[in-house]
Amino acid sequence: MRIVPFLITTAISAALVITLNTRLTIAGNEAPAFGSFLSPQHGFWQNAEPVSEKFNSDLTFQQLTGKVEVYLDERLVPHIFAEQENDAYFVQGFLHAKFRLWQMEFQTHAAGGRLSEILGDKDPRILNFDRNMRRLGMVYAAEIALQEVNKDPVIKSACDAYTKGVNAYIESLTTSALPLEYKLIGYKPEKWTNLKTSLFLKYMSYDLAGRDDDFELTNAKSYFSAGDFMNLFPAIQDSLDPIIPKGTVFEKQKVFPVAPLNVDSVYFNNQDQAFTESTKPDHDNGSNNWAVSGSKTKSGAPILCNDPHLGLNLPSLWYEVQISTPAYNAYGVSFPGAPGVIIGYNDSCAFGFTNGGRDVKDYFEIQFKDDTRQEYSFNGQWVKTTFRVDTIKIKNKAAFIDSVAYVQLGNDICPVMYDKSFSGNRSANQKYYAVRWKAHDASNELKIFTMLNRAKNYGDYQAAVTNLHTPGQNVVFAAKNGDIALRTQGEWPAKWKGQGDFVMPGYDTSFLWQGMIPQDEVPYQYNPERGFVSSANQKPVDDNTYPYYLGRDYPPYRGYIINKRLNAMSNITPQDMMALQTDNFDAGAAMAMPFIISNMKESDLNASEKKYVDILKAWDCRDEAGTTGPTVFEIFWTNFEHAVYDDEYAKAPKVIMRPFWSNLVDGILKDSAYKFLDNTLTPQTETLADMVTGALKKAAVELQQVEAAGKLNWEKYKGTGIKHLAKLVPFSRMDLVTGGGGRAINATKSDHGPSWRMVISLTAQTEAWGVYPGGQNGNIGSKYYDSFVDQWAAGKYYPLWMMTKEQTGDKRILAKMSFNK
């Protein structure tokens, strides 16, 4: 009978083996296979990095042509010294993979519409996101860009070396050394390719130049009268202080875009509505940058500052690095996924970026012959459609096959992003919309960074930045010879007034883009008399003097207050610039507060409501942690905005544009009897005082709830947190104590804000400071995972160390990695 216990034991063992190596569903969520995840040899235990980890290593790779030495400093910043430039990129790729591999792969999976492949489709938003990215043409755009890179032997060789470095690390990986996210989600890394680098760069184009409001504005135009539309969505804000000062004389116009003869009937006055909404990048993806000349600084040397505002994630978007080769010596932040330094400085100059924010993505309604989409109407003829069949793999399920039509509009091949099979949450009509996006055009964006890394003067800067096509950026520059400059750089469509604000007819050439703004007409400043250049995503020029149409929606307040402060400053020090970069003054609120307080009917308020008015009266319009004024203002303003506009929107379609934040302030400052103050749903005529007081009463109810929850202090209400890329809360840093807000120079919101702060003083011996909200190591088990977060939240900086080979014995060096052939 011994066989019975043996069989039972064998069955139990087999069941345990199967169970422990199967991904189970627990409480609706898929758990990792516990056998491998809990394995002492290969599981998550292996991701716990010893506190005293030194990272010393001596490595040999046949792909190298010379020797590379890497010195990791006490913050785990690598200082790469290479005898040959491409070897530096090989090592940079190796280090990116060593410290950020999962992040690199996850972001390129997202860019390529491949998240379903690793996450499955239990949440339908995942497949919807993948289809959105495929149909936008992200892979198509990356393939075109890669073809352009392959034509440039310098950039191609840099990418090849970088890719080999990433793969050298991947090939060395053991199961136990896999980043924890792979073990949790249950997949393994694949080989890196140059296409992945191209995809990552297109993901940045999506983040910075992928937003549009065409459908929302189309519906607003159809819903409101022409007069009301212009009042609600003006082409220029009264509070605008443009990047290029008013009164600047521009180059003579060379391209003359002409509106179609039937533009009024089929475009501006067309009452059709387009019910489409889709995944979009954050509207506030922007930044601040400026450079002040030596005439305004205490040292007599220029100072350059930059803080790009992007999503706050762990691992961070940025990876700090120094690259020293015979061709150049540069320090700054890099993108894990691409070679080179993106924002930083070298031995001669410094450079930084803010988002251009212009509309380079337009939609065209396509008329297919029938639902087969085999032919479409263009210039009075039926034209054959081409198709791209996308196979979207889905974890543990059959693949999803998506057939995307591509149409040729003039010289441009455009994907039909929305059709009857993919609506982007469309709830009504069954029309077809093709997207014309500048990121689809051939470009070689890596070239600008390669050239800026080695730039020595203004001429080098000019030659470098003209290679930036999409995403268009405001590129700031300062050099040790005293030059400062800023170009609103990009390849921008030359548009007639209003072109691209709304969905356009795609049945002939008349509504297509008619050319690009010539590069010598791109607005720029070089050593201006006022002694500084700056940008904060505001409109680049005054519409009265610049001949091309640049769209409507630009945030005015950060640019306004930065220019005001810089104009007034002298004897500027780097510490002054750090204080300005982290300044929490809300210029928009400061413009609104006088009419709020003066029109508040306090006699109509009870004691609890008056308490919040008193908080507003005492508030200095600064979004500081530990204060309650910003919370009271934000909740009041939200109620005020709804009180003013909700009656006008009562019967509006679901997908529609709301007025710009600045429009309500500008409208009331211009006319206290602002047309939209009256509630059209009531018999009486409301005044500004009625609306302000009524909004405060409604806000008070919400404020009492917020206060009861212990969240009246601004940092608690705002709830700034840095979320893990996969939204894994235990791997995130939440509820940070930090000030700032969307209209402050320190534009820190709940999950968005300054992703890298940098101040560079171009004295004889460069002095530099920086910080980002993360850490150098993407391993959650490392003390370097989030080691900069507290410093960033407090508005403090680290000195940036441009190491020299003579400093190899410096006490700041934590470890040395040698790479040999």
pLDDT digits (tens, 9 = 90+) for 726-776: 999 999 999 999 999 999 999 999 999 999 999 999 999 999 999 999 999
Is the pLDDT at 52 greater than 80? The verdict is no
Is the pLDDT at 801 greater than 60? The verdict is yes
Q: Give the model's confidence band at 277: pLDDT under 50 very low, under 70 low, under 90 confident, else very high.
A: low
Does residue 50 sit within a domain? yes
Characterize the bridge pairing of strands 57-60 and 798-799. Answer: unpaired
Query: 806 — phi, psi (to 5°)?
Result: -75, -5
CATH of residue 612's domain is: 1.10.1400.10
Q: Do residues 478 and 452 lie in contact, with contact meaning Cβ atoms separated by under 8 Å? A: no
630 is in which domain, residue-wise? 587-718
Domain boundary pick from 674, 690, 718:
718
Instruction: Give the DSSP per-residue string, 787-810.
Output: TTHHHHHTT--EE-----GGGTT-
- Same domain for 784 and 676: no
- Same domain for 98 and 189: yes
Is the pLDDT at 70 greater than 80? The verdict is yes
Query: 432 — phi, psi (to 5°)?
Result: -115, 135
Q: Do residues 289 and 474 lie in contact, with contact meaning Cβ atoms separated by under 8 Å? A: yes
- Same domain for 157 and 64: yes
- Same domain for 41 and 113: yes
CATH of residue 464's domain is: 3.60.20.10
Q: pLDDT averaged over the chain? A: 92
Q: Do residues 611 and 604 lie in contact, with contact meaning Cβ atoms separated by under 8 Å? A: no
- Same domain for 809 and 694: no
Does residue 644 sit within a domain? yes
pLDDT for residue 429: 57
Q: Do residues 602 and 576 lie in contact, with contact meaning Cβ atoms separated by under 8 Å? A: no
Per residue in 367-424, pLDDT (tens digit) is 999 999 999 999 999 999 999 999 999 999 999 999 999 999 999 999 999 999 998 6
Does residue 147 sit within a domain? yes
- Same domain for 638 and 571: no
- Same domain for 55 and 107: yes
Is the pLDDT at 560 greater than 90? The verdict is yes
Domain boundary pick from 718, 735, 752:
718
**What count of Cα atoms within 13 Å lies in the side-chain half-sphere of residue 49?**
19
Specify the pTM.
0.93
State CA 519 to chain mean position distance.
25
- Same domain for 243 and 194: yes
- Same domain for 526 and 602: no
Does residue 674 sit within a domain? yes
Per residue in 287-317, pLDDT (tens digit) is 999 999 999 999 999 999 999 999 999 999 9
- Same domain for 595 and 571: no
pLDDT for residue 40: 46
Q: What is the domain count for the chain?
A: 2
Q: Give the model's confidence band at 271: pLDDT under 50 very low, under 70 low, under 90 confident, else very high.
A: confident
Does residue 155 sit within a domain? yes
Domain boundary pick from 718, 736, 751:
718
pLDDT for residue 15: 47
CA distance 281 to 402: 23
Q: Mean pLDDT over residues 446-461, rounded? A: 98
Closest CA to 490 of 526, 528, 441, 452: 441
Does residue 626 sit within a domain? yes
Q: Mean pLDDT over residues 605-632, rounded? A: 98
**Angle 587-598/688-708 helices, nearest 10 degrees?**
110
Q: Mean pLDDT over residues 679-688, rounded? A: 95
CA distance 387 to 373: 9
- Same domain for 666 and 547: no
pLDDT for residue 602: 97
Among left, alpha and beta (phi > 0; psi -120 to 50; other), residue 135 is: alpha
Does residue 416 sit within a domain? no
Does residue 600 sit within a domain? yes
- Same domain for 614 and 567: no
Q: Give the model's confidence band at 284: pLDDT under 50 very low, under 70 low, under 90 confident, else very high.
A: low
Burial grade of 610 (CB within 10 A; 0-12, 13-18, 19 or more): middle
Question: CB count, 10 Å around CB of 406?
Answer: 15
b/e map 776-804, b = 16+ CB within 10 Å: bbbbbebebbbebbeebbebebbebbbbe
pLDDT for residue 332: 98
Q: Mean pLDDT over residues 781-790, rounded? A: 97
DSSP 253: P
Per residue in 329-356, pLDDT (tens digit) is 999 999 999 999 999 999 999 999 999 9
Helix/strand/coil (H/E/C) assignment for every residue in 142-197: HHHHHHHHHCCHHHHHHHHHHHHHHHHHHHHCCHHHCCHHHHHHCCCCCCCCHHHH
Amino acid at site 430: Q
